[in-house]
Chain A
Amino acid sequence: MDEADTAEYREPCAQCAAVNWGISDEGRFYCRSCHNVIERTREVMDMSFTRDSNRISWISSKSRTRKTDRGNVWMLCEVFQFILKNQADALLRLGVSPGFKDDVLSQLWRLYLQKSQQAYTRNPINSFKFKQKGLDSDSGSAADSVLSGSFTDTGSNLHSSADCNAESGSDRGRSGQSGTCSTASWKRSRSLMTMEKTLALIHLALVWSREALTLSDLLRLVKDDHVPYVTAYEQLPEEMKLCGRVALLFHIKNIPSHRSIHKMAQGLVMFLQLPAFPPINPQTLLHPTLLSLRYLTDANLPDELHRWVCILMDRADMANQKRHTLDLASHPALPLYDLQAAALIIVTMKVLFGLDDHTEWNLSNEAGSHDDLGDLFSFRRWYRLVQAALIQAQQRRNQDIARKQWKGKKPFFTDKRDKYFVMKRRRISDNVQMSLKKLTSRPAPVQDVAPSSFQFCWGSEDGSDGPSLQHMKLGKVVSLNHDVSTPSNFKYWHPPLRTCKPRSCTSHYSIMEPTLPRSFVWMLQLFSFMLDVEPWYLFEEVLEVERRVFGIKTPQSGQQIPIGGQNETGSNTKKWNRNCETKQDSKSGDPVRKPKS
Chain B
Amino acid sequence: MDVAAAGDSRENSAVRDKRQHLKIADCSTGFKTGPCVTYLSLPAELIMDALDEHLDPPVDLGDESDSSDNSSRKSYKSKLPLARPLCVETKTESGFQKTYRICLELIREAMLHHRWQEAAQYMASFTEILEDRNKVRAQPNKELVWRISIEILHHLSKSTVKDYNTIYERMKHSGVKHYLMICLEHSFHLMLHGQIECAKQQLSIAESWRHGKESVSQLQRIKLIQAYRSLLDYMIWCDKKSMLSQNNSVESDIQGMHTCFRHASVNLQEILKNPGVWDPFILSYVEMLEFYEDYEEALKVLNDYVYDSNFPPNPNANVYMYQFLKRHSAPEKKLMKVLRNLHVLVPSHELMLEYSFLLLQSEKTSDTQKALGVLLEMLDFACWRSNMGVWTCLHTAVHRLLLQEEGEVIVHKQMALRKDWWPALHFTSFHAKKDLEENAKLLEVKASLEKILCPGRPLRYTAERMPT
Question: What residues make up the interface of A, taking CB atoms closer than 8 Å to B?
Answer: 50, 52-56, 251, 253-255, 394, 398-399, 401-407, 422, 424-426, 428-433, 435-442, 444, 509-510, 513-514, 525, 529, 535-536
> Is A436's CB under 8 angstroms from B124's CB?
yes
> Is B131's CB under 8 angstroms from A510's CB?
no
- Most B CB contacts (10 A, CB to CB) among A394, A422, A433, A444 go to A433
If A429-B131, A514-B65 are given as contacts, then 14 extra A-B residue pairs at C-beta distance below 8 Å, sorted by A number, are A253-B94, A253-B95, A253-B97, A401-B99, A402-B102, A403-B125, A405-B128, A428-B130, A432-B171, A439-B153, A444-B124, A509-B64, A510-B64, A529-B62
> Is B102's CB under 8 angstroms from A426's CB?
no
CA distance A442 to B123 in the complex (A): 14
Interface residues of B in 17-74 (CB under 8 A from A): 61-62, 64-65, 67
Q: Does B106 contact A (CB under 8 A)?
A: yes
Q: Which residues of B contact A536 (CB under 8 A)?
A: 64
Q: Which residues of A contact B96 (CB under 8 A)?
A: 253-254, 406
> Is B170's CB under 8 angstroms from A439's CB?
no
> Is B127's CB under 8 angstroms from A52's CB?
no
Among B97, B133, B174, the residue within 8 A (CB) of A428 is B174
> Is B159's CB under 8 angstroms from A56's CB?
no
Among B61, B117, B162, B167, the residue within 8 A (CB) of A440 is B117
Given known A-B contacts A402-B103, A436-B124, A439-B163, A254 and B131 have beta carbons under 8 A apart: no
> Is B166's CB under 8 angstroms from A441's CB?
no
> Is A402's CB under 8 angstroms from B99's CB?
yes
Q: Which residues of A contact B102 (CB under 8 A)?
A: 398, 401-402
Among B94, B123, B169, the residue within 8 A (CB) of A53 is B169
Given known A-B contacts A432-B145, A444-B125, A426 and B131 have beta carbons under 8 A apart: yes
Q: Would you list 27 pairs from A and B whose C-beta atoms are within 8 A, ordered by A residue? A: A50-B166, A52-B162, A52-B169, A53-B165, A401-B102, A402-B106, A402-B125, A403-B103, A404-B99, A422-B131, A425-B131, A429-B128, A429-B131, A432-B145, A432-B167, A432-B170, A432-B171, A435-B163, A435-B166, A436-B120, A438-B163, A439-B153, A439-B159, A509-B64, A510-B64, A510-B67, A535-B64
Smallest Cβ distance from B171 to chain A, in angstroms?
7
Among B62, B124, B152, the residue within 8 A (CB) of A525 is B62
> Is A435's CB under 8 angstroms from B169's CB?
no
Smallest Cβ distance from B105 to chain A, in angstroms?
8
CA distance A425 to B167 in the complex (A): 14
Q: Which residues of B contact A437 (CB under 8 A)?
A: 124
Map CB proximity to A onto B141-185 as digits: 1 under 8 Å, 0 otherwise: 000010001001100101100110111011111100000000000
Q: Which residues of B contact A50 (CB under 8 A)?
A: 166
Cβ-closest 6 pairs across A and B: A402-B103, A254-B94, A429-B130, A253-B96, A436-B124, A254-B95
Given known A-B contacts A401-B102, A432-B127, A436-B127, A56 and B170 have beta carbons under 8 A apart: yes
Smallest Cβ distance from A127 to chain B, in angstroms?
24
Q: Which residues of A contact B137 (CB under 8 A)?
A: none
Question: What residues make up the interface of B, taking CB atoms closer than 8 Å to A?
Answer: 61-62, 64-65, 67, 94-99, 102-103, 105-106, 117, 120-125, 127-131, 133, 145, 149, 152-153, 156, 158-159, 162-163, 165-167, 169-174
CA distance A431 to B173 in the complex (A): 12
Q: Which residues of A contact B167 (CB under 8 A)?
A: 432, 435
Smallest Cβ distance from A568 to chain B, in angstroms?
22
- Most B CB contacts (10 A, CB to CB) among A405, A425, A535 go to A425
CA distance A442 to B128 in the complex (A): 20
Given known A-B contacts A56-B170, A429-B128, A435-B167, A255 and B65 have beta carbons under 8 A apart: no
> Is B122's CB under 8 angstroms from A402's CB?
yes
CA distance A509 to B67 in the complex (A): 12
Among B131, B162, B173, the residue within 8 A (CB) of A55 is B173
CA distance A251 to B96 in the complex (A): 11
CA distance A535 to B62 in the complex (A): 9
Smallest Cβ distance from B153 to chain A, in angstroms?
7
> Is A394's CB under 8 angstroms from B61's CB?
yes
Smallest Cβ distance from A441 to chain B, in angstroms?
6
Chain B: which residue is nearest A535 at the CB level? B64
Q: Which residues of B contact A441 (CB under 8 A)?
A: 117
Given known A-B contacts A50-B166, A422-B131, A426-B131, A405 and B125 have beta carbons under 8 A apart: yes
Q: Which residues of B contact A525 (CB under 8 A)?
A: 62
Smallest Cβ distance from B203 to chain A, in angstroms?
14
Chain B: which residue is nearest A536 at the CB level? B64
Q: Which residues of B contact A253 (CB under 8 A)?
A: 94-97
CA distance A305 to B121 in the complex (A): 44
CA distance A428 to B133 in the complex (A): 14
Q: Which residues of B contact A429 (CB under 8 A)?
A: 127-131
CA distance A441 to B159 in the complex (A): 12
Q: Which residues of A contact B117 (CB under 8 A)?
A: 440-442
Q: Which residues of B contact A403 (CB under 8 A)?
A: 103, 122, 125
> Is B170's CB under 8 angstroms from A255's CB?
no
Smallest Cβ distance from B311 to chain A, in angstroms?
38
Q: Which residues of B contact A439 (CB under 8 A)?
A: 120, 153, 156, 158-159, 163
Given known A-B contacts A398-B61, A444-B125, A510-B67, A52 and B166 have beta carbons under 8 A apart: yes
> Is B121's CB under 8 angstroms from A440's CB?
yes
Q: Which residues of B contact A56 (CB under 8 A)?
A: 170, 173
Given known A-B contacts A253-B95, A401-B102, A436 and B149 have beta carbons under 8 A apart: yes
Chain B: which residue is nearest A528 at the CB level? B62
Given known A-B contacts A254-B95, A436-B127, A436-B152, A425 and B174 have beta carbons under 8 A apart: yes
Smallest Cβ distance from B185 to chain A, in angstroms?
15
Q: Which residues of A contact B162 (CB under 8 A)?
A: 52
> Is B166's CB under 8 angstroms from A255's CB?
no
> Is B125's CB under 8 angstroms from A406's CB?
no
Q: Which residues of A contact B62 (CB under 8 A)?
A: 394, 525, 529
> Is B153's CB under 8 angstroms from A406's CB?
no
Chain A: which residue is nearest B131 at the CB level? A425
Chain B: which residue is nearest A426 at the CB level? B131
> Is A52's CB under 8 angstroms from B120's CB?
no
> Is B64's CB under 8 angstroms from A432's CB?
no
> Is A433's CB under 8 angstroms from B131's CB?
no
Q: Which residues of A contact B122 (CB under 8 A)?
A: 402-403
> Is B128's CB under 8 angstroms from A440's CB?
no
> Is B61's CB under 8 angstroms from A442's CB?
no
Chain A: which residue is nearest B164 at the CB level? A435
Q: Which residues of A contact B145 (CB under 8 A)?
A: 432
Among B98, B129, B170, the residue within 8 A (CB) of A431 is B170
> Is B173's CB under 8 angstroms from A401's CB?
no
Smallest Cβ distance from A87 to chain B, in angstroms?
18
CA distance A510 to B62 in the complex (A): 12
CA distance A426 to B156 in the complex (A): 25
Q: Which residues of B contact A424 (CB under 8 A)?
A: 174
Q: Which residues of A contact B99 (CB under 8 A)?
A: 401-402, 404, 406
Smallest Cβ distance from B385 to chain A, in angstroms?
52
CA distance A425 to B173 in the complex (A): 10
Smallest Cβ distance from B139 to chain A, in angstroms?
13
Smallest Cβ distance from A477 to chain B, in angstroms?
28
